[in-house]
Structure 1
Amino acid sequence: MRPVERPGLETVAVGEGQTLNIRLIQYPAIATIEIDDEVYDALQVPEKDRPEAMKRELAISLYAQDILSFGKARALAEMSKREFHTLLGEREIPRHYTDSELADDLEYAR
């Protein structure tokens, strides 16, 4: 079976006689993430909302794994502090507090 060439897709070899159609998603000045076309099409999110949803889910995952700080994850998700904090609460993801952040919050509360 020959691969079908479609605009917006790149065909790459994945094994002997096997190819995969890949859709490239590029975020301005940030990064490019390669997602298999079949996976991209299977997302249960309207196509117009996919880039935003994927950035939000990536931000949540990276924060939960302590790979990104709260501020950087929030920036990746393009959400306000309150919105991102609320989203983490809805997902039951604990906030990673550093001693410095705790001290700042205690000082602010006084």
Structure 2
Amino acid sequence: MQGKHRFAILHCAFAAVALTGCAHNPQFSGQSVTDPVLRQDVMKNVELLFSAMTQCRSIDAVNTSITGIHQLPSGAVERASETWDVTGCGVSKAYTVEMRSDARGETDFSVLPQR
């Protein structure tokens, strides 16, 4: 799935149904380059994929780890790759989150299940 930070448009017919069961805030741990707004946008996509793959609508925990990062000389993150390990309903799934800054200062991202 691909999204646009601050302007995410979800094209999944089951979005409303999947998100209604994800009203609680899962416990986050680990390291991530996401700020709270970007984390929330990415999490919406993770919730949709996790629900579709597991039939579970309740994520208990997300453990994030940075697997790659490229910074500009200024220190700003140009692109980053993370693994998000998601657990809910006794099931765990891992997702690759790829992020890239754009010319407007926003972040494009994609979320893909790991095999």
TM range (shorter): under 0.3
Instruction: Give the TM-score normalised by structure 1.
Output: 0.26
- Structure number, greater radius of gyration: 1
Instruction: Give the TM-score normalised by structure 2.
Output: 0.25
Tell me which of the two structures has the higher relative contact order, counting C-alpha pairs closer than 8 angstroms and 6 or more residues apart. Answer: 2
Which structure shows the higher strand fraction? 2
